Homo-oligomer: A and B are copies of this chain.
Amino acid sequence: MIPDIPQLDDAALAAVLRGRIDGKTKPLGALGRLEALAAQIGSILGTETPRLEQPQLVVFAADHGLAAQGVSAYPSDVTWQMVENFLAGGAAVSVLARQHGLNLTVVDAGVRHEFAERAGLLVRKIGPGTSDALLGAAMTQGQCTEAILAGREVVRSLPGNALLLGEMGIGNTSAAALLLARLAGHPIELCTGRGTGLDDAGMQRKLGVLRRVLARHPEAGTPLQALAAFGGFEIAMMCGATLQAALERRVVVVDGFIASSAVLVAARLQPAVLSRCIFAHCSDEAGHALMLRTLGATPLLNLGLRLGEGSGAALAWPLLESACRILREMASFESAGVSRESKPSMEAPDAP
């Protein structure tokens, strides 16, 4: 169920990429973060002239039993309503996917609603939402396995060499916070944010619920146990999708707090997945900055987003395209006939 993900350790290619970037007509390092991004994409795709092809933005959607405890500002029905909105083309992620030519697929990983079949929707329902994690495990270990395998299969069925991870699920910031707290050992109050916009009282209520959920599952210590106890079907499926994409050496673009929690689980299972992951942004959801630090990740954008859906991944996408084009299309000092740096400047004269 969990594939072995090898490290990317082609030192020769890394050196070629570094040399190629440094030879471009610009001062050394002057393209900042874009240079590291170009080197990473080249390493993932195994080429000094990377080209991103048929990028797939996949939004995994599911409901959460824990939502019954009032941990969200929105009712659970919003999950299926937003799935309809994604498919109708009216959600933020629909608009952004159109803008950037990203193929958008919505996966029903476990929404409490029966959708009519249509293009762009994959029904891979593990169940009608998870169980309430305050009363028992959110899912059985069997469901967890099933969801991971479904996530792998979804990626396998899609073309291209880049996967953008998105999600929808009322209540899923709670699941992500629980996973971060348990798997990284951080205090739950540092992992928990306002989600879709809880007020102070709602936030206290959410924190109280999450503390009780953690106390309810003291035994859930391994990544897969924690995923079953606290996770959501969409999170487990994103975990599987990340593993499969990493195995196939696709570029994985990670959206916000929830998508990062799936990558956290995947990375605890197979650390080398992280070398394939590009973290699109640091969201405004409290806990995401801590999550990124825990993962050793440097996000590309910092725009105060807190929407999910893959919207941040879509917004960061053109930067990945730019990084590839710089590698492929920019002239070198030699090809353009541009002079290199002058001799190092004079040393400060010694006092006589």
Contacts and interface: CB of A to CB of B under 8 A. Distances in A.
A338 B91 CA distance: 11
Given A91-B331, A95-B330, A305 B30 contact: yes
A342 B202 CA distance: 11
A88 B340 CA distance: 18
B90 A336 contact: yes
B303 A342 contact: no
Interface string A287-306: 00000000000001111111
A160 interface: no
Copies of this chain in the oligomer: 2
A16 interface: no
A158 interface: no
A330 B91 CA distance: 6
Residue among A72, A92, A198, A346 with most chain B CB within 10 A: A92
Q: Nearest 8 CB-CB pairs, A to B? A: A90-B331, A32-B304, A202-B345, A30-B307, A33-B303, A27-B196, A318-B318, A81-B338
Interface of A: 24-34, 70, 72-75, 77-78, 81-82, 84-85, 88-92, 95-96, 98-100, 196-199, 201-202, 204-205, 284, 300-307, 311, 315, 318-319, 321-322, 325-326, 329-331, 335-342, 344-348
16 contacts: A27-B196, A31-B305, A32-B304, A32-B305, A33-B304, A33-B305, A73-B342, A74-B342, A90-B329, A95-B322, A95-B329, A98-B329, A197-B341, A199-B345, A201-B348, A300-B303
